């Protein structure tokens, strides 16, 4: 019998271009589906993963090279395993890359994010067990077909383009943080890095969740008005990072009321001082959730945190159920993602997409590979 082949982008060495090769179309296990990839998001951090990861974060495993990367795949279900219950060929899906074992104590308790083998399929791992998970799931999204466990699939509605759905990773990271902080119609929140990839997703979701008032910080003033225009006049206000204290600005614009929540979406290169400055804008009982991974130690005044009942937490990724909730919000019209500017590349252009993503228009730009 002739083996069916497909094209895949494979990386052989960090910092070197990916190579487009012919590889066998993968087989699927009984609880998996085979997805024909229609779009795969190129995340802004992918260049760092491919070039600097082993130097910067040697404790976080990468897949054995050569490897097929690709974090945010979307596509159409081609075939289903015999133990798949709720999906059929032709279904439009997003594949959540979060892989978990299902058998450790955290998984059995329903906390899949706490899995002792938690791993991003097609990206990087979090634990000493991640190398085994990479062996079990060697296909990321930068190829024509990929297997996916049924627990990873989000059904996406007809009014959500595959290119838009390929942004669910960053959107979901912001969504889980907003849920963790219990935001709602009575909340005043601040998004550190509001015009970036994570920050802009947090804006869209905060609006969909009915947040009363959204404050933000950013550096690229050319994008400020575009961000503000996502809501009614006055609902979004933005402070320029580096031009005076964020906490003092918050105090002024809220007339001393302060913040319920800070979503810190600043990237690893941002100084800790920016996070601390935003933290100081919280009122009693406030909560800062970090999703941008400000690198290095962050000095915290624990006495102040204790006295004011302040929470500081990190939030990693999102569950498939939360992904489905976002897709359902798009279907209903509650979540408007029409502001994305898609830059579409063929699989053969993957290296151009990775190197060119630095030119994206802040969080508005969405770089995707369509095999």
What's the CA gap between 96 and 35, in Å, rounded? 12
54 pLDDT band, cuts 50/70/90, is confident
If DSSP codes are grouped into helix, strand and coil, which group holds residue 314? strand
Q: CATH classification of 5-160+337-369, choosing from 3.30.70.2520, 3.20.20.370, 3.10.450.40, 3.90.180.10?
A: 3.90.180.10
- Please, which residues bridge with residue 192 across strands? 217, 264
How high does pLDDT run on average in the chain?
Answer: 94
CB 133 within 8 A of CB 119: yes
Tens of pLDDT along 166-177? 999 999 999 999
In this predicted structure, the answer to whether residue 1 has a pLDDT above a threshold of 80 is: no
- The domain locations on the chain are 5-160+337-369, 180-311
Exposure string over 222-239, b if 16+ CB within 10 A, otherwise e: ebbebbbebbeeeebbbb
In this predicted structure, the answer to whether residue 370 has a pLDDT above a threshold of 70 is: yes
Tens of pLDDT along 193-235? 999 999 999 999 999 999 999 999 999 999 999 999 999 999 9
Show the DSSP H helices in 157-296 as ranges. 162-165, 168-180, 197-208, 224-228, 246-253, 272-279
Enumerate residues 6+ apart whose C-beta is below 8 A from 185: 209, 210, 211, 212
Tens of pLDDT along 57-98? 778 889 999 999 999 999 999 999 999 999 999 999 999 999
Return the CATH superfamily for domain 180-311.
Answer: NAD(P)-binding Rossmann-like Domain (3.40.50.720)
Tens of pLDDT along 246-269? 999 999 999 999 999 999 999 888
pTM of the model: 0.95
In this predicted structure, the answer to whether residue 108 has a pLDDT above a threshold of 70 is: yes
For residue 186 the two structure tokens come to: 């009575």
DSSP line for 242-277: TSS-HHHHHHHHTTT--EEEEEE---TTS-HHHHHH
């Amino acid at each position: 019998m002739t083996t069916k082949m497909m094209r895949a982008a494979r990386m052989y060495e960090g910092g070197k271009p990916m190579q487009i090769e012919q590889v066998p179309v993968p087989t699927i296990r009984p609880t998996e589906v085979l997805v024909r990839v229609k779009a795969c998001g190129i995340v802004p951090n992918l260049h760092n993963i491919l070039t600097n990861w082993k130097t910067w974060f040697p404790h976080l495993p990468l897949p054995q090279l050569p490897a097929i990367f690709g974090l945010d795949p979307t596509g159409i279900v081609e075939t289903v395993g015999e133990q798949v219950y709720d999906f059929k060929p032709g279904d439009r899906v997003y594949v959540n890359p979060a892989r978990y074992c299902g058998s450790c104590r955290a998984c059995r308790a329903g906390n899949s994010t706490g899995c002792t083998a938690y791993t991003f399929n097609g990206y990087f791992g979090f634990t000493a067990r991640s190398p085994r998970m990479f062996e079990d799931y060697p296909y990321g999204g930068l190829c024509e077909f990929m297997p996916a466990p049924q627990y990873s699939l989000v059904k996406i509605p007809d009014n959500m383009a595959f290119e838009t759905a390929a942004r669910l990773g960053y959107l979901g990271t912001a969504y889980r943080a907003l849920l963790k902080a219990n935001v709602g119609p009575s909340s005043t929140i601040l998004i550190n890095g509001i015009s970036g990839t994570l920050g802009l997703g947090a804006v869209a979701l905060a609006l969909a969740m009915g947040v009363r008032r959204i404050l933000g910080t950013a550096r690229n003033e050319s994008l400020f008005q575009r961000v503000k225009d996502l809501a009614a006049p006055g609902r979004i206000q933005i402070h320029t990072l580096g031009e005076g204290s964020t906490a003092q600005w918050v105090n002024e614009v809220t007339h001393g009321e302060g913040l319920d929540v800070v979503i810190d979406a600043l990237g690893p290169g941002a100084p800790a001082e920016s996070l601390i400055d935003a933290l100081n804008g919280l009122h009693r009982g406030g909560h800062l959730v970090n999703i941008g991974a400000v690198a290095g130690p962050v000095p915290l005044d624990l006495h102040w945190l204790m006295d004011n009942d302040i929470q500081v937490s990190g939030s990693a990724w999102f569950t498939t159920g939360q992904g489905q909730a976002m897709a359902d919000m798009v279907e209903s019209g509650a979540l408007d993602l029409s502001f994305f500017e898609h830059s579409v590349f063929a699989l053969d252009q993957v290296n151009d997409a990775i190197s060119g993503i630095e030119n994206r228009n802040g969080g508005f730009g969405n770089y995707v590979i369509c095999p």
